[in-house]
Structures are given as structure tokens and as C-alpha cells.
């Protein structure tokens, strides 16, 4: 049983199966008719000249339907050719003439009605580069001649064609009594037919398998070892177009990897042997792939060239439609215009797998940068009447309106702008109306003038308040800031440092010391805290007090010898030494630092030479000179009141006596017998 073209088309879908074809051993063309008809095929081809249409003199035989079947013509068992069998269904057209119309006697009319009906049927076949026309004579007996009735069919074997070719077939009679029938079909290639062993051109064709490998697609070409073939990867955006992406001559077998993001429905592949006149095999395996359709939408771009003109940039083309929609500023979905503006048909890419929309705004290219415009919809309500509404998030507000929306408040002004042609037309329709964009800049400017005036007044008042507060704080404070840096030599020594800081705060001086900032020191780390305090004190024209102790001198001596500073995050002494040492080594310490030590706890020669560029004082014996050095240029009068100096000295003596007599930390406040630190050359 021959395989019909319809069943073969179903078989050659996305996953083709092997279909066996009928084999014809006759090398010559033949013709046969259905039961009751007789056929005769003329030898050789005839000229394809349909001629002009003619009126039927009575009942005539005409073709009504064309069918095709694929068969193999095999002069030899392994040397076959693909062949197209054509089946033409025939019917009787026209009617017998009445006696008065024909002008013949009743006997003559009866004789003609008892005669058989004969027709010459032409079959025209084209498949580049082949063009043929065959002529069949078909005779129908008189008892089957019933006007308007089908009489049977004629079968022609057969037109040879190439695998994968596109064929066109026409059928008509000579003379021609009606428009010719036509049929266009695409023939399959070697993949879906049981012809690989029968058609020699299929013997050397490469075969392709498609599989997935993670995020990639693997193309496996089943080609014999060392066979040379060509590989073409291309896009077919429209049926008759081809855009090459990659072409290469390869040697089989081969595995080619494609990224899954590069797949689109119109991505196709051609492979063919490099033998002369070899057949090409075409594969388009991603036409129905959901992932390929998703990729198509990801790379598609919609542009608005002018109002009513769109351009879609995408590698493949599918039918779709374009419509206007309205997207409020606080909404994500674009809703059809209310009242709706009619849809316009267009050709765009639409996925059949997902309901995805490409969206672009008219402002993108029509109006330039986005402006705070008001969209108005003009609707025709009568022959010469129109109504206008403004699009807002709540809907389309009629103008004028008593609603409490922005468009309603500006209704009269918007209508005046619309009527005076100050708005820009974005869309127009002869039946329903138009879409307009009315600029709101002038209304916004009026409102912002008052806002800016209020802001300027507020800024001026705030500036005056801050200036007044700063002057009051400066007049109230009038005291110089000081940062006291010391070493951690035990609890007794810390009490002595605290007494010094408290006494200096009464001078008045604004003193910063780590003992009073334990929480900040723990939160930020010693190094960060000392750097921040030193920067702030020096920016305020303050002074940094270096309190030298035997421990500080010893560590300083070690650092100067090793020429390195690597403080830990919680090493207070190392932290502040790393802050101040660069100022002394680079000559930036003069006028910014003061050095001190307690009487009886350190010899002045023990202080390292780099730190001696700053004034050095012994406390409490040199307290007056020390206090004058701290005040510097910030003192309102030279010197200090004697009673205040005496109170500070008494506080320091008491703290020093308490430290030296304490047994908490022997040696903490006792005399250390250390030699002087080596000088830094």
C-alpha cells in the first residue's frame, strides 16, 4: 500500500520515524485510471501552454483535486530515485444543451448524450532545475457522465525529484475550461525515509543527533572516520531568507556544543558531503522547543520610531499584534486604554509557549526624555461632537469634572491647552478619536516657586540659628582642647593619670583621655580611637600631652632600635606611639606637642631624643610653666591665677604620694633605674 503524502507529513514531524516507500521497477512513466475510466499516456513530454479559458460546449471533464504520494523508482535494486506520484480526481462540469439552444434535432442530441466523454489532461511539474509536462487522455463512458458528479481519478507514475526539494504541480485540461489546480510541497530528505541503502546520494550524508548536556546542547554528527563534510549554522528569519552564523569544513565524526541561550526557533543546520553534487541535509530541530521560544523573547527589542510606527528587532519572525495600553506610574501592568483605542495588526515575534509581551513607551523616541505630561483621550460621540478624559491611576477622568483628582483640579486649564493646540498628538483613529500628551511644566513651575521660597526662608533661619549657636558655644567654651596620652603601668599609675586629667580640666582645659572613653575605645579599637582624637585635637588648634613613664620610654627605645611600628588592635601604648611618632620624625611636632613626666619617676635624659623637640616639663615642680605652655595663644591673659595653680599642684602631690606609698603594684610608681634611651640619628 503506498504511503499517502498526508500520513508521510505526520510521520516527518519533530522526531521523524523511518517510513518504507513503494518501489517501482518500470523505468518509464505510466498512467492508470480508476474503475470505469480508460487512460492513455502520450509518449514524451509536451509544451506547458495552458491557453486561455473557454466556455464549455456541454458536459466536459475537469480536474477537481490533486494528491501526491512518494515512491521509489528503482531500475536497479540499490540505485533508486525519489519519485512523486500524482493522483488527479475528475468530475463532469457543465450540462447538456436544450434542443432549442443547440439547434439540433432530438435524435442528434440523444446520440451525443449516449457518446462517451473524452478529455486531454495536462500535468505540469516543476522542481528546480526540473520542469516537465505530461499529457493523459482520459475517456469516461456515457453512463458515468452526470453533470456535477465525480467520475473517478487518474494516476500518473511519476515525476522524479531531488531529496529535500520544493515541488510545484499544476493540472488543467486542453482546452482549459476552468482555472488550473496547483499544489506546492516540500519533499523530505534522507532522514525520515527508508532510502539510505537505496539512494546513492544518501550513502555519504552526515546524520545529526541533538542532545542536552547540562546548560549546553550537544550536536553529534554521525560521519564515518576521515570523511570530509561541510557544516553550516544559520538563521532562517523568513521562509526564503538565510543568515549565516557559522560555516566550517570538518572531518568526521564531530561533536559540536551550542550554548542553550543561543537557541532560537529559526536556528537551522545544513550538513553535506564535500563530494561533487552531494545532497544537503537541513535540520531545524528547535522550531517547537520551549526554551528556544523563551530565548527569542529575551533578545527581542521593540522600538517606536514615531507615533503609529513600530520596529521589532528579533532573529525570527512570527505573527502577532500591537495595541496601545496605559501604565500608571504606581502600577506594573500595562492595561488597555479606557476607553479602548482599537488594536492595529502588525508582524512581531510572539511565542506560542508563553504569554509574553514586549512593551515600549511612546515617550522613548517620540517626545524625547520623559516629562510629567497628562494623557488625554479624545472620543467622538457624534458627527461633530467629541468628549475628552484624562488618564489617571484611578481611570479616565472626564473633563471638566468635580472629582478630587489632579486632572479634575486642572480640568479647565487642560481643556484650554487642548483646544489651543498646545498638546502633542500621539495617536489618531478616524472612527474613535485620538490620544494627546499635554505638558504640565507650567503648572508644576507655579507650585514649585512657592516651595522654593519656603525652602530658602527655612534655610536662612536655620543658618542664622546655627551661627548664633556656634558663637555662643565658642564664647562659652574659650578653652583649649588637650589629648593626654600615657602608658598603662598598673592601677596605681592610672589613678595618678586620672588625677592629672581631672586637675587640668579645672584650668579650664577640655581634656580627652582614654580612661574616660572606655566604651568608645572598646567599640572602635585603640588605634582607630587615638587616630581620630589626634586628628580632631590638631584640627581645633589643640595640644597633645605625652606623659612619659619608664614603660613608655622602654617601648619607645625598642621601636626606635627596630625601626618598625606594628601596634595591635587593643595595645594602647603602641597605638598612640604609632599616631604621634611620624609627626616627630618628619618635623611636624613643634607647637602641637608637650611632653611631661612626674617628679621622681623618670630622669629627663631618659626621654628619647626625637621627642625632645617638644617642650618637656616635670610635674608638679614645673606646673606653672607647663600650664602656660598648654594655654598657648588661647589664653585670655598671660599666666594663671596663683590659687588655681596651687590647687592643681596640691592634687598632683596627693595623687603622687598615694601612688608611691601603695603596695598594689610595687615598682609601678617607684624609681626605675634606667639609662637614657639611645638617640636617633
Its sign, for the CA torsion 492, 494, 500, 503, is negative
Overall number of domains in the chain? 4
Query: What's the pLDDT at 103?
Result: 53
Nearest in space to 33 (alpha carbons), one of 71, 89, 116, 85: 89
Its sign, for the CA torsion 663, 669, 670, 673, is positive
Look at 89-93, 366-370, 375-379 and tell me which has the smallest mean pLDDT.
Answer: 366-370
677: which residues sit within 8 A by CB, 6+ positions away?
553, 556, 557, 560, 606, 607, 608, 609
Q: Are residues 531 and 409 in the same domain?
A: no
Residue 402 lies inside a defined structural domain of this protein = yes
Q: How far is it, in rounded angstroms, from Cα 181 to Cα 171? A: 5
Nearest in space to 504 (alpha carbons), one of 480, 528, 527: 480
Strand partners, 274: none
Contact criterion met (CB below 8 Å) for 229 and 272 = yes
Query: What's the pLDDT at 205?
Result: 61
pLDDT in tens, 449-469: 667 777 888 888 888 877 776
Q: How far is it, in rounded angstroms, from Cα 613 to Cα 172? A: 119
The number of helices, as runs of H, and strands, as runs of E, in the chain is 14, 33
- Residue 515 — φ and ψ, nearest 5°? -65, -25
Q: Are residues 85 and 233 in the same domain?
A: no
Contact criterion met (CB below 8 Å) for 553 and 606 = yes
Q: How far is it, in rounded angstroms, from Cα 590 to Cα 10? A: 98
Q: How far is it, in rounded angstroms, from Cα 16 to Cα 24? A: 24
Of 197, 221, 236, at which residue does a domain stop?
197
pLDDT above 70: percentage of residues in the chain: 74
For residue 95, pLDDT beyond 50 = yes
Burial class from Cβ neighbours inside 10 Å (0-12, 13-18, 19+) for residue 48 reads middle
What is the CA angle 269-272-278, rounded to 5? 140
Strand partners, 132: 125
Of 293, 311, 343, at which residue does a domain stop?
293
Neighbours of 275 (CB within 10 A): 14
Three-state SS sequence of 58-97: CCEEEEEEEEEEEEEEEEECCEEEEEEEEEEEEEEECCCC
**DSSP character at residue 464:** H
End-to-end CA distance of the chain: 113
Residue 453 lies inside a defined structural domain of this protein = no
**DSSP character at residue 329:** T
Query: What's the pLDDT at 122?
Result: 94
Q: Are residues 600 and 625 in the same domain?
A: yes
Between 172 and 493, whose confidence is greater? 172
pLDDT band of residue 442 (cuts 50, 70, 90) is confident
CATH of the domain at 126: 2.60.40.2160
Of 293, 315, 339, at which residue does a domain stop?
293
pLDDT band of residue 445 (cuts 50, 70, 90) is low
For residue 493, pLDDT beyond 70 = yes
pLDDT above 90: percentage of residues in the chain: 9
CATH of the domain at 497: 3.40.50.11530
Q: Of 237-241, 354-358, 437-441, 509-513, which has the strongest mean pLDDT?
A: 509-513
Residue 210 lies inside a defined structural domain of this protein = yes
pLDDT band of residue 343 (cuts 50, 70, 90) is low
Q: Are residues 62 and 189 in the same domain?
A: yes
Q: Are residues 651 and 504 in the same domain?
A: yes
Strands 166-174 and 207-213: unpaired
Cell of 292: 528556544
Look at 5-14, 38-47, 318-327 and tell me which has the smallest mean pLDDT.
Answer: 5-14
Residue 677 lies inside a defined structural domain of this protein = no
Tell me the average pLDDT across 223-232.
80
Q: Are residues 145 and 226 in the same domain?
A: no
Q: Are residues 183 and 72 in the same domain?
A: yes
Q: Are residues 251 and 169 in the same domain?
A: no
Task: Provide Rg for the chain, Cα atoms.
Answer: 52
Residue 305 lies inside a defined structural domain of this protein = no
Cα dihedral 418, 423, 427, 428 in deg (nearest 10): 40
**DSSP character at residue 399:** S
pLDDT in tens, 229-253: 888 889 887 766 788 888 888 887 7
Residue 666 lies inside a defined structural domain of this protein = no
Query: What's the pLDDT at 41?
Result: 92
Between 4 and 553, whose confidence is greater? 553
Between 566 and 637, whose confidence is greater? 566
Q: Are residues 132 and 52 in the same domain?
A: yes
Contact criterion met (CB below 8 Å) for 206 and 199 = no
Strand partners, 483: 512, 544
pLDDT band of residue 655 (cuts 50, 70, 90) is confident
Contact criterion met (CB below 8 Å) for 407 and 415 = no
Provide the edge-to-edge strand list for the sheet that holds 216-222: 207-213, 216-222, 254-259
15: which residues sit within 8 A by CB, 6+ positions away?
none
pLDDT in tens, 602-643: 888 888 888 888 899 988 888 888 888 887 644 444 455 677
For residue 670, pLDDT beyond 80 = no
Residue 662 lies inside a defined structural domain of this protein = no
Query: What's the pLDDT at 508?
Result: 72
Q: Are residues 235 and 135 in the same domain?
A: no
Between 638 and 260, whose confidence is greater? 260
The rounded mean pLDDT for the chain is 76
Query: What's the pLDDT at 388?
Result: 86
Q: How far is it, in rounded angstroms, from Cα 194 to Cα 70? A: 12
Cα maximum dimension of the chain:
163
For residue 155, pLDDT beyond 90 = yes
pTM of the model: 0.39
Contact criterion met (CB below 8 Å) for 377 and 425 = no
* DSSP letter string, 221-290: EE--TT-EEEEEEEE-SSTT--EEEEEEEEESSEEEEEEGGG--TTEEEEEEESSTTPPEEEE-TTTT-H
Contact criterion met (CB below 8 Å) for 642 and 653 = no
Contacts 24+ apart (CB under 8 A), 456-461: none
Query: What's the pLDDT at 67?
Result: 92
Burial class from Cβ neighbours inside 10 Å (0-12, 13-18, 19+) for residue 101 reads exposed
How big is the chain, counted in residues? 681
Q: Are residues 221 and 169 in the same domain?
A: no
Q: Are residues 43 and 81 in the same domain?
A: yes
For residue 102, pLDDT beyond 60 = no
Query: What's the pLDDT at 348?
Result: 43
CATH of the domain at 281: 2.60.40
Range of the domain at 357: 331-441
Q: How far is it, in rounded angstroms, from Cα 619 to Cα 625? A: 10
For residue 169, pLDDT beyond 90 = yes
Strand partners, 81: 73
465: which residues sit within 8 A by CB, 6+ positions away?
none
Q: How far is it, in rounded angstroms, from Cα 671 to Cα 597? A: 12
Relative orientation angle of helices 550-562 and 572-585, to the nearest 10 degrees: 60
Nearest in space to 249 (alpha carbons), one of 229, 234, 268, 233: 229
Residue 468 lies inside a defined structural domain of this protein = no
Amino acid at each position: 500500500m503506498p504511503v499517502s503524502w498526508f500520513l508521510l507529513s505526520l510521520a516527518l514531524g519533530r522526531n521523524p520515524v523511518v517510513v518504507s516507500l513503494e518501489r517501482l521497477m518500470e523505468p518509464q512513466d505510466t498512467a492508470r485510471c480508476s474503475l470505469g475510466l480508460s487512460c492513455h499516456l502520450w509518449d514524451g513530454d509536451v509544451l506547458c501552454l495552458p491557453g486561455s479559458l473557454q466556455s464549455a460546449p456541454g458536459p466536459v471533464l475537469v480536474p477537481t483535486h490533486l494528491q501526491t504520494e512518494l515512491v521509489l523508482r528503482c531500475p536497479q535494486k540499490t540505485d533508486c530515485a525519489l519519485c512523486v506520484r500524482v493522483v488527479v480526481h475528475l468530475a463532469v462540469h457543465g450540462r447538456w444543451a436544450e434542443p432549442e439552444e443547440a439547434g439540433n434535432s432530438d435524435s442528434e442530441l440523444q446520440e451525443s448524450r449516449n457518446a462517451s466523454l473524452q478529455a486531454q489532461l495536462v500535468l505540469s511539474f516543476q522542481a528546480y532545475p526540473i520542469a516537465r509536462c505530461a499529457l493523459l487522455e482520459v475517456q469516461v463512458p456515457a453512463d458515468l457522465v452526470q453533470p456535477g458528479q465525480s467520475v473517478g481519478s487518474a494516476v500518473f507514475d511519476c515525476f522524479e525529484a531531488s531529496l529535500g526539494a520544493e515541488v510545484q504541480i499544476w493540472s488543467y485540461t486542453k482546452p482549459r475550461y476552468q482555472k488550473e489546480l496547483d499544489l506546492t510541497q516540500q519533499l523530505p530528505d534522507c532522514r525520515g525515509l527508508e532510502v539510505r541503502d537505496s539512494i546513492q546520494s544518501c550513502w555519504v550524508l552526515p546524520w545529526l543527533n541533538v542532545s542536552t548536556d547540562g546548560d549546553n546542547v550537544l550536536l553529534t554528527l554521525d560521519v564515518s572516520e576521515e570523511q570530509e563534510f561541510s557544516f553550516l549554522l544559520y538563521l532562517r528569519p523568513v521562509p526564503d531568507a538565510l543568515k549565516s552564523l557559522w560555516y566550517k569544513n570538518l572531518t568526521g565524526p564531530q561533536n559540536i556544543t551550542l550554548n542553550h541561550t543561543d537557541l532560537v526557533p529559526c536556528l537551522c543546520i545544513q550538513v553535506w558531503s564535500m563530494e561533487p553534487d552531494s545532497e544537503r541535509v537541513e535540520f531545524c530541530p528547535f522550531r517547537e522547543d520551549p526554551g528556544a521560544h523563551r530565548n527569542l523573547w529575551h533578545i527581542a527589542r521593540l522600538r517606536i520610531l514615531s507615533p503609529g510606527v513600530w520596529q521589532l528587532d528579533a532573529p525570527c519572525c512570527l505573527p502577532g499584534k500591537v495595541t496601545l495600553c496605559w501604565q500608571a506610574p504606581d502600577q506594573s501592568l500595562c492595561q488597555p486604554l479606557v476607553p479602548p483605542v482599537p488594536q492595529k495588526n502588525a508582524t512581531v515575534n510572539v511565542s506560542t509557549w508563553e504569554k509574553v509581551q514586549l512593551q515600549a513607551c511612546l515617550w522613548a523616541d517620540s517626545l524625547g526624555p520623559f516629562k510629567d505630561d497628562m494623557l488625554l483621550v479624545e472620543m467622538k460621540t457624534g458627527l461633530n461632537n467629541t468628549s475628552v478624559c484624562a488618564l489617571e491611576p484611578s481611570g479616565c477622568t472626564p473633563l471638566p469634572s468635580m472629582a478630587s483628582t489632579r486632572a479634575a483640579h486642572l480640568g479647565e486649564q487642560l481643556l484650554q491647552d487642548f483646544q489651543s493646540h498646545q498638546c502633542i498628538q500621539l495617536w489618531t483613529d478616524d472612527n474613535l478619536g485620538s490620544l494627546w500628551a499635554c505638558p504640565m511644566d507650567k503648572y508644576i513651575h507655579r507650585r514649585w516657586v512657592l516651595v522654593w521660597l519656603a525652602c530658602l526662608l527655612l534655610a536662612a533661619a536655620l543658618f542664622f540659628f546655627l551661627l548664633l549657636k556656634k558663637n555662643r558655644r565658642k564664647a562659652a567654651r574659650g578653652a583649649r582642647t588637650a589629648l593626654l596620652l600615657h602608658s598603662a603601668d598598673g592601677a596605681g599609675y592610672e589613678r595618678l593619670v586620672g588625677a592629672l586629667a581631672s586637675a587640668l580640666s579645672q584650668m579650664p582645659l577640655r581634656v580627652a583621655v582614654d580612661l574616660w572613653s572606655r566604651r568608645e575605645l572598646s567599640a572602635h579599637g585603640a588605634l582607630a580611637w587615638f587616630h581620630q582624637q589626634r586628628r580632631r585635637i590638631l584640627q581645633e588648634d589643640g595640644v597633645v600631652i605625652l606623659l612619659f613613664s619608664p614603660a613608655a620610654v622602654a617601648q619607645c627605645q625598642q621601636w626606635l632600635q627596630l625601626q618598625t611600628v606594628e601596634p595591635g588592635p587593643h595595645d594602647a601604648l603602641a597605638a598612640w606611639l604609632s599616631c604621634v611618632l611620624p609627626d616627630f620624625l618628619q618635623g611636624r611636632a613643634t607647637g602641637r606637642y608637650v611632653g611631661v613626666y612626674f617628679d621622681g619617676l623618670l630622669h629627663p635624659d631618659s626621654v628619647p631624643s626625637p621627642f625632645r623637640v617638644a617642650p618637656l616639663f616635670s610635674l608638679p615642680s614645673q606646673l606653672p610653666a607647663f600650664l602656660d605652655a598648654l594655654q598657648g595663644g588661647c589664653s585670655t591673659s598671660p599666666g594663671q591665677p596663683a590659687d588655681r595653680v596651687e590647687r592643681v599642684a596640691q592634687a598632683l602631690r596627693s595623687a603622687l604620694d598615694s601612688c608611691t606609698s601603695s603596695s598594689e603594684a610595687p615598682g609601678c610608681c617607684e624609681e626605675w633605674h634606667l639609662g637614657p634611651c639611645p638617640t636617633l640619628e
